[in-house]
Amino acid sequence: MSSDTLGRELLRLARSAIAARFGQVIAASTASDPALTAPGATFVTLTQQGRLRGCIGSLEAWRPLAEDVRENACAAAFRDPRFPPLAADELAQTRVEVSLLSPAAPLRFSSEADALARLQPGVDGVILECAGRRATFLPQVWEQLPEPRTFMAHLKQKAGLPADFWDPDMQLAIYHVEKWKE
């Protein structure tokens, strides 16, 4: 299955999973590709008029890709704690984006300045772990926060840490995504 074909199928799976919660049926796909049954980690992002409406995902591949997309689509639509559950009348104006994550790799660094210098804006998704807290930003977040120091400050805040927090025990990992958008 080509990347474009896979992307169209993942978008269809995400939208149909959400629509099914409202009793709507989207035509079933005839796609049967081993990629859909192999483990995959995805994030599903929902937007309305270019504004975030929900985003939930998996950082590690632990279930079949098709199942991961369906579950994350429903979680983004109905269980993202930042938003009320999606209503049926919102579905038509909601755009779906699916990001397929590569495995995360630890980022080696000697200081915060070194970590910031090693990040590739627009390319790296980042996972931050420290003091029992964990947060991630997809590479797409660089579009809103293009400067590494600002990106990292917001990621720390997402993890519930102060923007200027630093601890030598902080762990960072990076990943990349292949993404498709309606």
CATH, residue 83: 3.30.700.20
Which range (22-26, 39-43, 93-97, 149-153) has the least confidence? 22-26
Inter-residue contact 128 to 172 (CB < 8 Å): yes
Q: Which amino acid is at 69?
A: V
Contact, 141 vs 55, CB < 8 A? no
Boundaries of domain holding 145 = 105-179
pLDDT for 34 beyond 90? no
Which of 101, 126, 159 is the last residue before a domain boundary?
101
**Together in a domain, 122 and 93:** no
**Bridge-partner residues for 54, per DSSP?**
46
What is the pLDDT confidence band of residue 28, given thresholds at 50, 70 and 90?
A: low
Going by pLDDT thresholds of 50, 70 and 90, the confidence category of residue 29 is low
Give mean pLDDT, residues 49-64.
96
